[in-house]
Structure 1
Amino acid sequence: MDNNQIKNLSYSLGADLCGIGSIERFKDAPKGFHPVDIYPEARSVISIGKHYSPSLLDANTKVPYTMMKNKIVELLDDISVKLTFYIESQGYKAIPIPSDEPYEYWDPDNMQGRGILSQKHAAQACGLGHIGKNTLLINEKYGNRLYLGAVITNMELTPDTVAKELCIEGCNLCLKSCPQSALDGITINQKKCRQICGRSTPAGGFVFSCYTCIKVCPFSKLEDSQ
């Protein structure tokens, strides 16, 4: 099995992006959140991405954005599961990582959560883009309008080239525009962000209520045709 088989299957299932990274690229992962902490025999990580429409950011309501986000997360999880079964059918092991996983690690005082594997750091290690000042992955084609999924496997796959840094030097639009001043150009204060990023509706639903750091970024303006 080679990279092309994995990528072609990912694309056929609906992914827009698929990249591969070696375990060696995760040497800076926090203890307990490294791929081998999830699966000790891990040798490669497969990262997949699906973009969402730039038109959503121009709507006067956040409901369409919330709907598309939820549907894309379902799609990415479906792709990860199908990739897992395919890899296993070829005689290897694979572990799917949820796109929007429930946190096992949660710091209630700081409202800080960590997934078992950081999807954006995995995507960067797999060559899908580079993390910008707004702490979101920026891709050359789709900008920062991406949701991500991943699969860990014991297959030895050829790692893709790491993407160049895309964040514009001297641009601080996301830092200046964040209504919570939650960004410092390196990390995000999750507590400040979570205080306004989502809200419950009167009927008991949930809507993402702030994506200012995405919308003001020049890379949110990239069109699908590029």
Structure 2
Amino acid sequence: MDSNYIKKLAYSFGADVCGIGSIDRFKDAPKGFHPLDIYPEAKSVISIGKHFPASLFAANTKAPYTLVKNKSVQLLDDIAIKLTFHIEDQGYKAIPIPSDEPYEYWDSENKHGRGILSLKHAAQACGVGCIGKNTLLVNEKYGNRLYLGAVITNIELASDALSRNLCIESCNLCLKSCPQSALDGTTIIQKKCRQSCISSTPGGGFIYSCYTCREVCPFSKISSDS
């Protein structure tokens, strides 16, 4: 099994993007959140993504965005699981990473959570895109409109070329527009962000109520055909 085969498989399962990075691309991962902390025999990481339509930004309600986000996460988990089964059927090992990760690490005082693997950093290490000042991944084809997933495997796969830096150096729209002032150009203060990013509805549900940093970015409405 080679990288091209894995990527064709991921696309056939419904991924819009797929990139691969060898384990040495993750040397700067925080202790406890490295692919080897999840699976000690890991040799490669497979990053996958689904894009969402720019039209969602035109809606006067956040409910459609919430619908697409929730469904996309389910689809990414399905793709990761299918990849895992297929890789295992070929005699290798694979570990799917949840797309909407349950926080095993949680700092309650700062409301700061970490998934077992940073999917955006994994995507960057796999050449899918670069991380912008708003801490979102930016992809050349789909801009910042990607939700992400991943699979860790013990197959030694060739790495994709890293993405060039797409974030415009002189642009600070996301930093200036964040209603919570939660961005500093490098990271995000989760405690501030969480105060507005998700809201409960009167009927007992929830919606993703703020995506300003995504919407104001010049890469929010990039055409998927460009």
TM-score band by shorter chain is over 0.9
SS of residue paired to 2:149 = strand
Q: Which runs of 5+ in 1 are unaligned?
A: none
- Measure how far apart 1:95 and its partner are: 0.2
Q: Report the Cα distance in structure 2 between the residues aligned to 1:221 and 1:95, rounded to whole angstroms.
A: 33
**Distance of 1:85 and 1:95 partners within structure 2:** 9
Corresponding residue for 1:215? Answer: 215
Report matched runs for 1:10-159 at 5 Å.
10-159=10-159
Q: One-letter code of the match for 1:142? A: Y
TM-score (norm 1): 0.99
Q: Tell me which amino acid in the other structure corresponds to 1:180.
A: Q
How far apart, CA to CA, are the structure 2 residues paired with 1:221 and 1:64? 16
Instruction: Give the drift of 1:221.
Output: 1.5
Q: Secondary structure at the match of 1:219?
A: coil
Pairwise CA distance, 1:154? 0.3
Runs of 4+ in 1 over 4 A off after TM superposition: none
Secondary structure in 1 matching 2:18 = strand
Taking the TM superposition and a 5 Å limit, the aligned residue runs for 1:142-181 are 142-181=142-181
Equivalences, count: 226
Q: Note the C-alpha offset of 1:58.
A: 1.1
Partner Cα separation in structure 2 for residue 119 and residue 136 of structure 1: 10
AA at the equivalent of 2:66: T
One-letter identity of the residue aligned with 1:190: Q
Q: Sequence identity of aligned pairs in percent?
A: 76
- Cα distance between partner residues in 2 of 1:224 and 1:46: 22
SS where residue 75 of structure 1 aligns? helix
Q: Aligned AA for 2:94? A: A
Distance (whole Å) between structure 2 residues aligned to residue 124 and residue 81 of structure 1: 21
**CA–CA distance in 1 between the matches of 2:84 and 2:180?**
39
User: Residues of 1 paired with 2:156 and 2:49: CA distance?
Assistant: 21
